[in-house]
């Protein structure tokens, strides 16, 4: 399936950045020894948690993604399921992660209520993802850049959900809620597939390709991270 392999290669380009690795590491803290990674995609977080001795389960809506994850990370457990109806018993996990996921879920609030259901008391949830309206890109055509960002945001169900993560946790009864922003700064050609996904072929992308050749690329993506404790 072409769309899925494109998504996996975009995720790989991002997730292999040292800054993205460091951010993931941060999100693994305090999740305890039984963790669900919801919208697990290619399964990287599950594989990394298992390598740290955590019983981690990845859940994804798309069977093809679950298959790809199981192939890539054979030590992990992966299940097909919806973020709003997880295939897990009440109170069965100590940690819940949803990384770059809630923007794609039809009802993000129901997904956070579901996080509360599957977490044991004192369990910890972490939500992270980009705000799709906030890409910082150096370009000779700022107006076109703005239009491209708008159009890309319109392709996702909830482009602004990351700025609601804190409120979603509070509204669903989580305590000790925190919210932070960690900005990924990307200045080499490995971000070109992401810019190609944003813009498609044409003069705007050609300028970015030329910038990559001249070492003059600048893309910054603020990633919003919110955590909360299940009371």
Ligand X SMILES: C[S@@+](CC[C@H](N)C(=O)[O-])C[C@H]1O[C@@H](n2cnc3c(N)ncnc32)[C@H](O)[C@@H]1O
Ranges assigned E (strand) in 11-118: 34-38, 55-60, 77-80, 93-99
Q: With respect to ligand X, which residue has the nearer C-beta, 209 or 222?
A: 222
Segment 14-33, which members bind ligand X (CB under 6 A)?
A: 15
Residue nearest to ligand X (CB): 41
Asked if residue 105 binds ligand X (CB under 6 A), the reply is: yes
Asked if residue 83 binds ligand X (CB under 6 A), the reply is: yes
Q: Taking contact as CB under 6 A, which single stretch among the options 60-68, 146-154, 167-175, 195-203 is the one that binds ligand X?
A: 60-68
In whole angstroms, give the CA distance from residue 83 to residue 62: 11
Which of 32, 62, 67, 167 is close enough to bind ligand X by CB under 6 A? 62
Asked if residue 39 binds ligand X (CB under 6 A), the reply is: yes
Asked if residue 40 binds ligand X (CB under 6 A), the reply is: yes
Q: Where are the alpha helices (DSSP H) in 52-202?
A: 63-72, 108-118, 142-153, 165-171, 192-199
Closest to 104 in 3D by CA, of 152, 142, 161, 144? 161
In whole angstroms, give the CA distance from residue 16 to residue 178: 26
Q: Taking contact as CB under 6 A, which single stretch among the options 56-64, 119-127, 144-152, 215-223 is the one that binds ligand X?
A: 56-64
- Minimum CB separation of residue 220 from ligand X in Å reads 18
Which of 67, 77, 82, 133 is close enough to bind ligand X by CB under 6 A? 82
Burial class (CB in 10 A: 0-12, 13-18, 19+), 109: middle
Decide if 112 contacts 83 (C-beta within 8 A). Answer: no
In whole angstroms, give the CA distance from residue 141 to residue 185: 20
Which of 27, 35, 41, 199 is close enough to bind ligand X by CB under 6 A? 41
Asked if residue 158 binds ligand X (CB under 6 A), the reply is: no
Asked if residue 60 binds ligand X (CB under 6 A), the reply is: yes
In whole angstroms, give the CA distance from residue 104 to residue 208: 27
Q: Taking contact as CB under 6 A, which single stretch among the options 39-47, 167-175, 176-184, 205-213 is the one that binds ligand X?
A: 39-47
């Amino acid at each position: 399936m072409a769309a899925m392999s494109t998504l996996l290669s975009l995720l790989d380009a991002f997730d292999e950045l040292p800054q993205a690795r460091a951010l993931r590491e941060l999100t693994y803290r305090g999740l305890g020894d039984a963790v669900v990674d919801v919208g697990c995609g290619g399964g990287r977080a599950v594989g990394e948690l298992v390598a740290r001795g955590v019983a981690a389960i990845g859940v994804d809506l798309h069977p093809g993604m679950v298959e790809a994850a199981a192939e890539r990370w054979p030590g992990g457990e992966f299940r097909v399921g919806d973020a709003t109806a997880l295939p897990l018993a009440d109170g069965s996990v100590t940690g819940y992660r949803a990384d770059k996921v809630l923007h794609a879920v039809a009802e993000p609030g129901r997904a956070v209520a579901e996080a509360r259901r599957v977490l044991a008391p004192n369990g910890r949830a972490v939500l992270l993802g980009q705000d799709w309206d906030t890409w910082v890109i150096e370009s000779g055509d700022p107006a076109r850049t703005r239009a491209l960002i708008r159009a890309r945001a319109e392709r996702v169900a909830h482009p602004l959900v990351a700025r609601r993560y804190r409120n979603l946790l509070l509204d669903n009864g989580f305590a000790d809620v925190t919210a932070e922003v960690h900005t990924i700064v990307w200045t080499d050609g490995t971000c070109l597939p992401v810019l190609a996904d944003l813009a498609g072929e044409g003069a705007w992308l050609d300028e970015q390709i030329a910038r990559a050749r001249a070492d003059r690329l600048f893309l910054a993506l603020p990633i919003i991270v919110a955590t909360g404790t299940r009371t």
